[in-house]
Amino acid sequence: MVGVLEGFTTIAIIVAVGWLLADRRVLDDSAQVNLSRLAFHVASPALLLTVMQRTSLAAVLSANLVTSLISFTIVVGVYLVLARWRWAGGALGSRLIGSLSAAYVNAGNLGIPIALYVLGDVAWVAPTLLMQLLIITPVSMALFDSDARGERPTLGRSLRRMFSNPITLGAVAGLLIAVFDIHLPRVVAAPIDLLGAMAVPSMLVAFGISLRRGPRPATGRAAGHVWTIVVLKTLLMPAIAFGVGIALGLRGEALFAVVVTAALPTAQNIFTYAVRYRREVNLARDVIFVSTFVSVPVILAIAALFHGFAGV
């Protein structure tokens, strides 16, 4: 269980640095926006390229991947139904932020260390990482771009937007490098690795600034919306993953891995997207903040149950 606490503690410290810098007026709201832009346009694409080219493609066709995709789809569907009934749906970009907040897991900077220390192998989180990078992110980026331009999403427009977005381009470039077994020269690979290393710290520092400069998380009229999404993310999604995994024949460590991965909190990427497209920034920030804290006891409880009853 040390791995769970180590992963969350690392994130908390970097967020606290952002909060402190904002409190001391070293960084302000403009720094939050600029850090988010840096992460979106440069650092995240570089990180995705690096991750994709080093990830085994054998995970693509696994039952783990199918379980993650089905779980994501069901949770998004539940959220959209609730949003239409309770919060009148909202604009496309707003529904996208809500949907991603409810189902897009922190498989990178939290999932990787937890996979290593709790599951024993980083490969367990690879299917979810691939699913999010190669399917969910490109489609979401195309829809965000259409919403930002006030266009009605069509297949042609979505495809054009999909392959002109830096996030998508980074993931696709990494996949092509892996598929064709291309070895980048060190003079090219080293700068990409260095730029990619800025992605997570940039997102977390920007997030810390927003906690200091914005309203208190999960307060006021938006509290019900935030807590509904947190429940979907941290409780419903792992429960669905467990049921789907059982139905697909997963048992033991494989089932444990998909349930723990589904219980991970909302990814910081969603806050970056919210800032970039100016949609539901406070909602994304609050869900990430609350789900991160809530997911700690949830993941610890899942681990205890599996170790106690399944002998994992």
pTM: 0.81
Tokens standing for 248?
Answer: 């697909």
Tokens standing for 231?
Answer: 């429940």
- pLDDT for 27: 93
What are the structural domains of the chain? 2-310 (1.20.1530.20)
pLDDT band at 1 (very low <50, low <70, confident <90, very high): low
- pLDDT for 87: 75
Q: Which residue has the higher pLDDT, 303 or 52?
A: 303
The percentage of the chain sitting over the pLDDT mark of 70, rounded to a whole number, equals: 88
pLDDT digits (tens, 9 = 90+) for 3-59: 667 767 887 888 899 999 999 999 988 998 899 889 889 988 898 788 778 766 665
Burial class (CB in 10 A: 0-12, 13-18, 19+), 221: exposed
